[in-house]
Amino acid sequence: QTLLLGQTFVADGNPFLEPWQEVIHINSAGALLIEDGMIRAVGNRNDLLCDHPQAQVQDYGTHLICPGFVDAHVHYPQTAIIASWGKQLIDWLNSYTFPEEMRLANPDYARQIAARYLDLALDHGTTTMCSYTTIHAHSVDAFFDAAATRGLRSVAGKTCMDRNAPDGLRDTAQSAYDDSKALLTRWHGQGRATYAITPRFSPTSTPDQLSALGALWAEHPDCPMQTHLSEQPDEIAWVRDLFSNARDYLDTYEMHGLLGPRAILGHAIHLEPREIDRITESGAALIHCPTSNTFIGSGLMDVAGLAARQIPLGLATDTGGGSSFSMLRTMAAAYEIAQLRGTALHPAQLIWLATAGSARSLHLHEKIGRLAPGYEADLTILDLASTPAIAQRAGQARSVWEVLFPTLMMGDDRAIADVWIAGHRHAASSG
């Protein structure tokens, strides 16, 4: 048994649907009992110290113990091309992304990048990630093997594309179905792995491929299905040309059996009213990728409006379209985008999005994303005074939220004091 002492971030509900003051609490004298990789008790420091005198104690002082961050949309193969200059979505894919994804045809390179990505993510406090891969089946094995080595709960699937991608980076409708099925059988539910059926987006899949993946999903409805939706106006116009019989972008998925409660739709910025209604009815989750949406010039997602419709929302870096591996930086960008739309997201809402919200969007909300008994002990410990700039602002604070907010706005990997994975303290990589 291990007893962690510190400030604790405790969420008992959705702070977008209920007043955050009622459902989110920071316990400044909090404690967490961990045993066999699980959280056994959450409470007050003195109570848990008294109840568990034999437990090994780790005292984090005024650091904030949070659920591990959950990054609900990343492309691990794009790790090495993060921060590539000067392009918007389609040109960015053709100039930077596809050439790099081609390099993962080499299984050794795929393994190297998977390890590099996961170590960077962990250093930034991310303990679960939902990743795209490349069209190569071994890129999925590389990712899940590397995640298993580190003990991580993770989600990924083979990225399927059978058109509008260069030679060497296309599969077919049949091979996408066959390879995805074989990978799903190998990985889904193995240890902490979840397999996600992954058509990249409508422009790079023929209707045949979308149908084949829709059929696979119907055979395995407990798997999530991830794809992209309505990220940029040029992309949406292209989809309209490619699918002249579809009512809108969402319909290109819906008509092929690719809309349902376990759908995970990235970006979803420029939505039609019909699309919002159908997403709401279907139970699909939308993933906010704020640093990507500004970096690639995509637009300002209506987070508050969509959350109010009770649509499950997650938060994500979208590495490497996003410009950071850090979920702290991502929370800052989410705050800034909401400000541009006239809403101030509260720090309680931002951390909730990066933990319980993302976990819910991946249907992992009964396992991770909360500090509560019965949850897996994936934790991120935040130093709320990690740099002189943050410390001097936090020192002026009049409330615990005012202490925390500068870390959300200005923090990076230096704010990650520790990470725990399934009850084990993770030794930070030296790189």
Which residues sit at the interface with ligand GUN, rule CB under 6 A? 75, 89, 93, 97, 200-201, 228, 231, 292, 296, 318, 321
Strand partners, 131: 74, 156
* Nearer residue to ligand GUN within complex by CB, 44 or 94: 94
Q: Using alpha carbons, list the distances in angstroms from residue 26 to 82, 292, 403.
A: 34, 30, 11
Residues 326-385 that bind Zn ion (CB under 5 A): none
The residue count for binding Zn ion (CB under 5 A) is: 1
Q: Which positions from 248 through 287 interact with Zn ion, judged by CB under 5 A?
A: 266
CB nearer to ligand GUN: give 9 or 238: 238
User: What does 357 interact with, of Zn ion, ligand GUN, none (CB < 5 to 8 A by kind)?
Assistant: none
Helix (H, G, I), strand (E, B) or coil at 103: helix
| Cα 120 to Cα 135, 284, 300, 301, 375, distances in angstroms | 23, 29, 27, 26, 24
Which of residues 209 and 380 has its CB atom nearest to ligand GUN in the complex?
209
Q: Which does 201 bind (CB under 5 to 8 A by kind): Zn ion, ligand GUN, none?
A: ligand GUN
Cβ of residue 161: shortest distance to ligand GUN, in angstroms?
Answer: 9
Closest approach of Cβ 101 to ligand GUN, in Å? 8
Residue 329 near which of Zn ion, ligand GUN, none (CB within 5-8 Å, type-dependent): none
Contacts of residue 236, defined as CB under 8 A and 6 or more positions apart, other chains included, come to 230, 249, 270
Shortest separation between residue 287's beta carbon and ligand GUN, angstroms: 11
Q: For the CB of residue 296, give the shortest distance to Zn ion in the complex, in Å.
A: 10
Tell me which H or E stretch contains 145: helix 137-149
Residue 241 C-alpha from the chain's centroid? 31
Residue placing its CB nearer to ligand GUN in the complex, 154 or 292: 292
List, in sequence order, every beta strand (DSSP E) within 133-189: 153-157, 159-160
Sign of the Cα pseudo-torsion (16, 20, 22, 28, in order): positive
In the complex, least distance from residue 324 CB atom to ligand GUN, rounded to whole angstroms: 14
Q: Nearer to ligand GUN by C-beta: 31 or 142?
A: 142
Residue 320 or 369 having the CB closest to ligand GUN: 320
Q: What distance in Å separates the CA atoms of residue 409 and residue 390, rounded to the nearest whole number? A: 9
Q: Which does residue 97 touch among ligand GUN, Zn ion, none (CB within 5 to 8 A, set by kind)?
A: ligand GUN
Report d(CA 148, CA 426) in Å as an integer.
14
* Residue with the two structure tokens 């130093």: 383
Contact residues: Zn ion, CB under 5 A: 266
